[in-house]
DNA sequence: CGCTAACCGAGACGGTACGTCAAGTCTTAAC
DNA sequence: GTTAAGACTTGACGTACCGTCTCGGTTAGCG
């Protein structure tokens, strides 16, 4: 049975270090010291640093946003992307995501796990798209996977490269372009 | 004066290790041993592992593709994105790019440098867009920076997450959606 | 808690390397490899090479000779110096002492520590001298510190320069001269 | 032909570094940089750091003191030891000697050379003793080598250990004890 | 008076060892 | 029987100098 005290202290320490020192500044050793917990305790419950950070990230999000269903593609995407871009307002989440993506590049085992989590987020978008397809809002033959890439790609790209500001203000334009692009060449 | 022998041996060793063992498998020590060169020689010319990998990547590309100029946005983007997606056909480049992006997340100093390189690639796209804007192919008020994100974002996202195949075959659809999205709601 | 296995292996390896390769031939890296121990383990318990060698030296001596107390200055000094010169019969100790003295010249931090150890040895002589003074065997006003230098100085000098043989055979003459010199111009 | 400029600059730089940073702070690389001279130039004329420091030491002494000859052992020794202890008044010489003695412990090749230099200094004392023996001032059977150790030993010991002040003020007592000790047992 | 040999600076090179860091595994003892 | 404490191996880091070496660019003095 995982001791709630220890586990919470570890997650809190992880979150604190993430905020203060960035992903690189988070070390299992540092977390253990900060949480006043033995290193072995951390390893008992989390198998690696990225797994720990992933958990800390999930705790920072808490409530799962329900899949939006407004009846139109634009409406659904607006809700979804606005929420997505809102991540940028939370340094902890930004740092966590950037670090996790980095880790996924370096550690194939974690990449697998990370991909699973990413897929769960993509599924939400693919459901939105499926409903839109049913309504005839999508050009026939649209690949939902590549469409999802169009939703997440620019967000992640900007998040990772950091060349420009990121925030919910971008959602409107993003959705406009998405809808236009996905509807296809209207007049043929 | 940098000795050509040493420098080439180092870059070759870096490339070889990248291919064989991935970005994580590249270590300065390993490169030095492989290249039969002293560690200090590597450090003399490259200030860090990412700088070294970046150089090895550049050497693997060599010829700079000229900015395409076909007279239409679709034409230019098709050329550009096809070339971009072709990266996926070279494991060395894929690994290099993934590792460099990872490193940029972990090391702020390198992030800066990496951003510089990214910007140089973005500039090519922004020039294409500027010409398209002059021709009236873009909706007025289009933000070229965000538009560039739409070009690179999906590519990088798929490259980094690895959830689906990547290759020049995607270029056609990508361009179609971009052109549609960027032209805007033509008839209102 | 220091693991006895590791610690003993390290000291044994240090002693072995001292014998085989001299003080210069002792490196932390070499000791670690020889002791089949991680370098960090050596560093955990000894803060530097001289500290390690000092410890190895102490282990090689083990039993502390009791302060001699024969009732006469000549008797005490004979016992003490004989023991002192006997060091020359143990190559390991000779190398250790020469190396430690060398290190004390090069590293001020270690010099401090070394001085402490030297002082502990000097104290033995100063106690002998104090008792002799009580018995009236010393010229009044004799400086015990400088007198101790007269005991240790020639020994160390010959040990370090290596210009002539060193061994317990020298003790008799040394003591004769010391006693004569320290008694002073008694009868004028 | 050795360029006088370069050679002097090197010796001056060595002396300066010796004073400022101690023997350990002298590195061939540092000397070369300081003297604005190529490293290879230093190596051309001095085969090692101790050789260089030895040279710098010799330059700091300049005139060779003539062997004292006052007609009495006490007189000769007083002149000699006073001069000897005066070394302590020159930080450069102190640091040089300490460093050279250290080096002699670590580098057998240099030890040889160093021993030669030491012997030249010992010879002066042995000449003084030979004359004293002729005059009957020494107990018969006195070993001039061990007697010389008695002259130099305490000086070097204090110089190297640094446990107490060193200076010409010590010469008087030292000589008194030497003369007494060397003359032998009053009644004999 | 011009040639050539030496000496010069600059600095790259292969090495060795340093001391540090964090990772992840393992053992011990207490609660 | 879970924990805390913390020692352990491993592997790479980046640094400092070492002593050797090649490279052109002066300078001197010999012929």
Q: Residue C106's closest CA among D101, D107, D115, D88?
A: D101
Mean pLDDT, rounded, of chain D: 92
- Would you call D105 and C160 a contact, using CB atoms and an 8 Å cutoff? yes
Rounded distance between C-alpha atoms, residue C95 and residue C77, angstroms:
25
Whether residue D112 is predicted with pLDDT greater than 90 in this model: the reply is: yes
Is pLDDT above 70 for C187? no
In the structure, what pLDDT confidence band is assigned to residue D6 with cuts at 50, 70 and 90?
confident
pLDDT averaged over every residue in chain C: 92
Instruction: State the Cα torsion C25-C42-C104-D177 to the nearest 10°.
Output: -90
Going by pLDDT thresholds of 50, 70 and 90, the confidence category of residue C65 is confident
A179 pLDDT exceeds 50? yes
pLDDT for A188 equals 41
Quick one: pLDDT band at residue C178, thresholds 50, 70, 90? very high
Q: C5 pLDDT exceeds 90? A: no
Q: How far is Cα C64 from Cα C61, in angstroms, rounded to an integer? A: 7
- Using the structure, give the distance in angstroms from the CA atom of D180 to the C1' atom of E12, rounded to a whole number: 63
What percent of chain C shows pLDDT beyond 70?
Answer: 96
Q: What is the pLDDT of residues A139-172, one digit of tens each?
A: 888 999 999 999 999 999 999 999 999 999 999 9
Q: Is the CB of D115 less than 8 angstroms away from the CB of C161?
A: yes
Angle of helix D49-61 relative to helix D108-134, nearest 10 degrees, comes to 40
The predicted-structure confidence for D133-170, as pLDDT tens digits, reads as follows 999 999 888 999 999 999 999 999 999 999 999 999 99
Q: Kindly indicate the confidence band of residue C186, based on its pLDDT and cuts at 50, 70 and 90.
A: very low
From B150, B174, B187, residue closest to A154, measured CB to CB: B150
Instruction: State CA A45 to chain mean position distance.
Output: 22
Mean pLDDT of C66-71: 90
Q: Quick one: pLDDT at residue B40?
A: 96
Arithmetic mean of pLDDT, D27-33: 96
pLDDT band at residue B186 using 50, 70 and 90 as cut-offs: very low
Does C112 touch chain D if contact means CB atoms closer than 8 Å?
no
Residues of chain B positioned with their CB less than 8 A from the CB of A24:
106-107
Give the rounded distance of the alpha carbon of A122 from its chain centre: 10
Neighbouring CB atoms inside 10 A of A81's CB total 24
Collect all residues with Cβ–Cβ distance below 8 Å to A65 and sequence separation of at least 6.
Answer: A83
- Does residue B171 have a pLDDT over 90? yes
**B180, pLDDT greater than 90:** no
- On whether the CB atoms of residues A160 and B104 are closer than 8 A, the answer is yes
* Burial B69-86, CB ≥16 within 10 A → b, else e: eeeebbebbbbbbbebbe
For residues B68 and B11, the answer to whether their CB atoms sit within 8 Å is no
DSSP codes, C100-162: HHHHHHH-HHHHHHHHHHHHHHHHHHHHHHHHHHHTT-S-TT--HHHHHHHHHHHHHHHHHH-
Q: Which residues contact C73 (CB under 8 A, 6 or more apart)?
A: C128, C129, C132, C135, C137, C138, C179, C182
CB C175 within 8 A of CB D175: no
For residue range A14-44, list pLDDT tens digits in order. Answer: 999 999 889 999 999 999 999 989 888 899 8
> A85 in contact with B at a CB cutoff of 8 Å?
no
Q: Is residue B185 very low, low, confident or very high in pLDDT (cuts 50, 70, 90)?
A: low
* pLDDT tens by residue, A118-128: 999 999 999 99
Q: What is the per-residue pLDDT for C120?
A: 94
D25 at the C interface (CB within 8 A)? no
Cβ contacts of A102 within 8 Å, gap of 6 or more: A23, B101, B102, B103, B104, B105, B106
| Least CB–CB distance from B119: residue in A106, A160, A163 | A163
Shortest distance between the Cα of B3 and any Cα of chain A, in A, equals: 32
- Give the model confidence (pLDDT) of A46-105 as tens digits: 988 999 999 999 888 876 677 899 999 999 999 999 999 999 999 999 999 999 999 999
What CA–CA distance (Å, rounded) separates B150 from B152? 6
Reported confidence tier of residue A133, pLDDT bands at 50, 70, 90? very high
Burial letters B121-148, b for 16+ CB under 10 A, else e: ebebbeebbebbbeeebbbeebebebbb
Q: Side-chain half-sphere of B174: how many Cα atoms within 13 Å?
A: 31
The whole-number average pLDDT for the span D56-72 is 86
Task: Identify the weakest region by mean pLDDT among A39-43, A171-175, B74-78, C166-170.
Answer: A39-43
Q: Identify which of D176, D170, D138, D97 has the alpha carbon closest to the alpha carbon of residue C157.
A: D97
Q: What's residue D14's pLDDT?
A: 96
All structural domains of chain A, each given as residue ranges with its CATH number in brackets, are 4-55 (1.10.10.60), 64-183 (1.10.357.10)
Describe the crossing of helices A73-86 and A108-134 by its angle, rounded to 10 degrees.
Answer: 150
- The count of residues in chain A is 188
DSSP type of residue C70: -
Residue C28, Cβ neighbours under 10 Å: how many?
16
C-beta separation of A96 from A57 below 8 A: yes
Instruction: Using pLDDT thresholds of 50, 70 and 90, give the confidence band for residue B188.
Output: very low
- Comparing CB atoms, the residue among D105, D143, D158 nearest residue C99 is D105
Distance from CA of C5 to the nearest CA of D (A): 30
**Euclidean distance between CA atoms A47 and A36, whole angstroms:** 19
Whether the predicted pLDDT of C171 surpasses 60: yes
More confident residue, B158 or B141: B158
Which residues fall inside 7 Å of strand F, measured at CB?
A 1-3, 6, 36-41, 44; B 27-30, 39-40, 43, 48-49; C 1-3, 5-7, 36-41, 44-45; D 27-30, 39-40, 43, 48-49
* Span of A53-67, D2-16, D41-55 with lowest mean pLDDT: A53-67
pLDDT tops 50 at residue A187: no
What's the CA angle centered on A121, arms A116 and A127, to 5 degrees? 120
């Amino acid at each position: 049975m995982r001791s709630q005290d220890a586990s919470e202290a570890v997650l809190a320490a992880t979150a604190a270090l993430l905020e203060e020192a960035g992903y690189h500044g988070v070390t299992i050793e540092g977390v253990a010291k900060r949480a006043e917990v033995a290193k072995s305790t951390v390893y008992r419950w989390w198998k690696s640093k990225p797994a720990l950070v992933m958990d800390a990230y999930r705790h920072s999000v808490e409530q799962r946003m329900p899949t939006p269903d407004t009846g139109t593609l634009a409406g659904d995407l607006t809700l979804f992307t606005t929420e997505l871009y809102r991540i940028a307002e939370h340094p902890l989440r930004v740092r966590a995501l950037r670090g996790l993506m980095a880790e996924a590049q370096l550690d194939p085992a974690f990449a697998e796990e990370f991909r699973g989590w990413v897929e769960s987020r993509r599924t939400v978008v693919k459901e939105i798209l499926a409903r839109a397809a049913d309504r005839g809002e999508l050009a026939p033959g649209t690949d939902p996977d590549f469409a999802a890439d169009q939703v997440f790609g620019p967000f992640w790209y900007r998040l990772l490269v950091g060349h420009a500001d990121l925030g919910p203000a971008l959602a409107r334009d993003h959705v406009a372009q998405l809808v236009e692009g996905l509807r296809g060449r209207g007049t043929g």
